[in-house]
């Protein structure tokens, strides 16, 4: 079971790999063919009518006839440079314009003399002597030097490795005939590399900034380092031996293997792999060339470069091809595809150059690796830009997705909040309705019933009037208590004072109102309408008792805030100068019920109710709680 389960996913996976890899490899084969064809087509054509190929060569003391192009036998011949001597015919009659000598390819440096006078020394142009470039040279031959008939031309070839010296066919003829060919070669092998190097330096700056801003991603730092090395190698002119600073040349040799190792490291990181620890070995050849270049003098570093550096470049190219192919199989994105194709081109060119170096393919020793490397740089730049743009798109997408999500969540939250609010409002409304019902039932209902009963029994108008007034008063109390007073009980007491004064005026009872401080009572944010109604009803009951039973002349209300060390609390005291409760003969049971009512109302509000009644009057003290209870626990 488990075996099948383990094998099952591998087979489609393998099929997937094959289905992706085969077309890719076929395409790479096509690219190889196209590159080879391209190299053949791009081969600049030289003015063959003016070719000089028959020369006599004096090398190592021996003189022999050679045919150009020719490879020297030595890799290092600064002491006794090989001397090529040839002859050309000049006819003054058909020399409409000046004549030139044109060297399409030589390594490392060449000095050309016509009739014994030097007309061209390539050592003066530092970049012309680099073996990896195919710099052409052209020089006008002063007309005074030319003799009608046969003229002698000598080419002295300076060779300082790492390759054998090489001299391509030399052309001597009218400048007008040679110049176009020279210009073509200059464009291909001088101008174009400069353009690419400029591009590389821009890339280096962009990547360095990228890396500085995103230190977490060493991939950009690695590539920036590679680009900087490439730019240095391209723009720092190597000194021409036997100049003293030949060490610099040796150090510059280390740049190519190091740069290629860095490129591999970049590719590995760029495509999302980890850089293996043994990957450091890839930097070893570059380091060795560098160290040897610092210590030893020429020609050892150049030989070492040939032995270590160039193979390293090759290995790196093969690694790159592997990495990009693997990345393509895994991710199948535009970046890996572009870079992979570019690597194939460079690899093809490298093989082409190697075949040329080992003289397996006899061409004119035109090295194209460096030029084709530019193709890879363009591909890398394109790949980076592509990935950058994609990342931006992803960020945009992510941001818009986030906005949508947040909006959705907000909507849901709003909906649930609205639901909750609705529910709370419904509950509050139901509570309020219950309270209102109870309050109306307690006061207004009973009073209206008593009005009905009184009028049915044919009572005197005054009694009915009292009952109706009481009912109206209660209705006002209920309405008043509904108002939001913001926890300030004084606002409710203010209205009550008016109602009580109005009630007492016909009875000629004075209402003495005394508030200890302007604030009056402490604020109670938890104060609810039902608290207010209970307290006001207690006060109403006290005043009604004073009017009805005690026959008082004066009622004193005192409002004060006390603080027993545990926070402030309010006290409302009402005192009358009546004859007191106990002496009230009739209606004792009614008074008792009233008293019970007052106690229960006070208890529901968490207030302490005290009543002292004597012959000199009644004194009620209502001590309010510090915090009003939020549920009507004692109700019912």
Partner 1 sequence: MGEQGETGEAITILLVEDDAPTCWRLQDALVKAGYEVRSAGTLGEARQALNGGAPRVLLTDLRLPDGHGIELIREMRQLCPDTEIMVISALGDEESVISAITVGATGYLLKDAFPTDIATTVRDLVAGHSPISASIARFIVRRTQGTAQNSAEPPPGPVLNTAKLTPREIDILWGIAKGFSYAEIASHLGLSRQTVPGHIKNIYRKLEVHTRGEAVFEAVQQGLIKL
Residue ranges in contact with partner 1 by CB under 8 A: 468-469, 472, 475-476, 479-480, 483-486, 488, 490-491, 493-498, 502, 505-506, 513, 515, 518, 520
- Smallest distance, Å, CB 484 to partner 1? 7
Q: Tokens for 561, please give them.
A: 């805030």
- Smallest distance, Å, CB 514 to partner 1? 9
The residue (of 407 and 514) whose beta carbon lies closer to partner 1 is: 514
- Smallest distance, Å, CB 498 to partner 1? 5
DSSP letter string, 435-453:
HHHHHHIIIIIHHHHHHHH
- Smallest distance, Å, CB 400 to partner 1? 30
The residue (of 329 and 448) whose beta carbon lies closer to partner 1 is: 448
Q: Cα separations (Å) of 630 from 151, 424, 527, 528?
A: 124, 15, 8, 8
- Smallest distance, Å, CB 607 to partner 1? 19
- Smallest distance, Å, CB 531 to partner 1? 17
- Smallest distance, Å, CB 539 to partner 1? 12
Could you give phi then psi for residue 114, rounded to 5 degrees? -115, 125
Question: Where do the DSSP E strands lie in 422-552?
Answer: 510-515
Angle between the 489-504 and 461-482 helix axes, to the nearest 10 degrees?
A: 170
- Smallest distance, Å, CB 485 to partner 1? 7
DSSP letter string, 115-138:
TTEEEEEGGGSGGGG-TTS---EE
Q: Cα separations (Å) of 174 from 85, 135, 243, 305?
A: 20, 21, 35, 40
The residue (of 307 and 501) whose beta carbon lies closer to partner 1 is: 501
Could you give phi then psi for residue 233, rounded to 5 degrees? -60, -35
The residue (of 247 and 497) whose beta carbon lies closer to partner 1 is: 497
The residue (of 303 and 490) whose beta carbon lies closer to partner 1 is: 490
Residue 107 forms beta bridges with which residues? Answer: 166
- Residues whose CB falls within 8 Å of the CB of residue 546, separated by 6 or more in sequence, listed in order: 509, 552, 555, 574, 576, 578, 618
Burial of 295 (0-12, 13-18, 19+ CB in 10 A): exposed
- Smallest distance, Å, CB 379 to partner 1? 60
CA 110/CA 165 separation, integer angstroms = 10
User: In 10 A of CB 274, how many CB atoms?
Assistant: 8
CA 135/CA 106 separation, integer angstroms = 8
Could you give phi then psi for residue 590, rounded to 5 degrees? -65, -40
Residue owning tokens 């012959």: 615
The residue (of 248 and 501) whose beta carbon lies closer to partner 1 is: 501
Residue 213 exposure: Cα atoms within 13 Å on the Cβ side:
6
């Amino acid at each position: 079971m488990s075996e099948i389960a383990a094998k099952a996913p591998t087979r489609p996976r393998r099929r997937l790999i094959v289905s992706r890899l085969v077309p890719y490899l076929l395409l790479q084969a096509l690219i190889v063919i196209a590159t080879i064809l391209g190299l053949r087509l791009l081969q600049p054509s030289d003015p063959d009518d003016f070719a000089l190929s028959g020369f006599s060569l004096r090398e190592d003391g021996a003189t022999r006839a050679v045919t150009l192009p020719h490879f020297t036998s030595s890799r290092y011949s600064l002491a006794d440079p090989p001397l090529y001597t040839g002859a050309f015919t000049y006819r003054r009659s058909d020399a409409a314009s000046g004549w030139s000598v044109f060297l399409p390819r030589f390594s490392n440096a060449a000095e050309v003399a016509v009739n014994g006078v030097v007309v061209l020394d390539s050592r003066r142009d530092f970049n012309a002597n680099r073996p990896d470039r195919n710099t052409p040279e052209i020089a006008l031959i002063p007309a005074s030097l030319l003799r009608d008939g046969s003229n002698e031309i000598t080419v002295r070839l300076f060779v300082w490795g790492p390759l054998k010296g090489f001299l391509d066919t030399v052309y001597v003829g009218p400048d007008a005939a040679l110049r176009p060919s020279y210009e073509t070669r200059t464009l291909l092998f001088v101008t174009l590399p400069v353009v690419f190097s400029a591009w590389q330096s821009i890339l280096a700056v962009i990547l360095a900034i990228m890396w500085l801003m995103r230190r977490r991603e060493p991939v950009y730092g690695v590539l920036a380092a590679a680009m900087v090395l490439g730019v240095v190698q391209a723009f720092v002119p190597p000194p021409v031996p036997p100049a003293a600073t030949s060490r610099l040349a040796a150090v510059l040799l280390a740049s190519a293997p190091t740069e290629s190792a860095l490129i591999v490291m970049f590719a590995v990181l760029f495509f999302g792999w980890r850089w293996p620890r043994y990957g450091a070995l890839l930097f070893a050849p570059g380091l060795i060339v560098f160290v040897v270049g610092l210590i030893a003098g020429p020609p050892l570093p150049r030989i070492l470069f040939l032995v270590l550096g160039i193979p390293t470049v090759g290995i790196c190219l093969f690694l790159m091809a592997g990495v990009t192919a693997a990345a393509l199989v895994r991710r199948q994105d535009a970046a890996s595809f572009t870079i992979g194709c570019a690597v194939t081109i460079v690899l093809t060119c490298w093989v082409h150059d190697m075949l040329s170096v080992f003289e397996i393919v006899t061409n004119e020793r035109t090295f194209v690796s460096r030029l084709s490397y530019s193709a890879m740089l363009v591909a890398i730049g394109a790949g980076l830009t592509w990935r950058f743009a994609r990342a931006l798109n992803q960020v945009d997408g992510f941001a818009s997705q986030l906005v949508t999500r947040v909006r959705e969540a907000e909507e849901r939250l709003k909906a649930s909040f609205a639901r909750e609010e609705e529910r709370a409002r419904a509950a509050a409304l139901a509570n309020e309705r219950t309270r209102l019902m109870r309050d109306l039932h307690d006061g207004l209902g009973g009073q209206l019933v008593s009005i009905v009963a009184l009028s049915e029994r044919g009572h005197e108008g005054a009694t009915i009037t009292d009952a109706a007034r009481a009912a109206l008063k209660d209705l006002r109390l209920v309405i008043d208590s509904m108002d939001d007073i913001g926890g300030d009980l004084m606002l409710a007491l203010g209205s009550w004072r008016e109602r009580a004064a109005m009630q007492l005026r016909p009875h000629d009872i004075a209402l003495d109102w005394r508030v200890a401080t302007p604030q009056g009572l402490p604020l109670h944010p938890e104060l609810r309408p039902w608290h207010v109604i209970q307290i006001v009803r207690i006060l109403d009951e006290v005043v009604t008792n004073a009017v009805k039973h005690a026959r008082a002349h004066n009622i004193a209300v005192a409002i004060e805030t006390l603080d027993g060390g545990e926070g402030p609390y309010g006290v409302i005291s009402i005192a009358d100068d009546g004859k007191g409760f106990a002496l009230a003969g009739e209606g004792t049971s009614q008074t008792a019920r009233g008293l019970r009512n007052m106690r229960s109302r006070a208890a529901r509000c968490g207030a302490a109710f005290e009543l002292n009644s004597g012959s000199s009057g009644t004194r009620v003290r209502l001590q309010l709680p510090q915090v009003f209870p939020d549920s009507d626990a004692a109700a019912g």
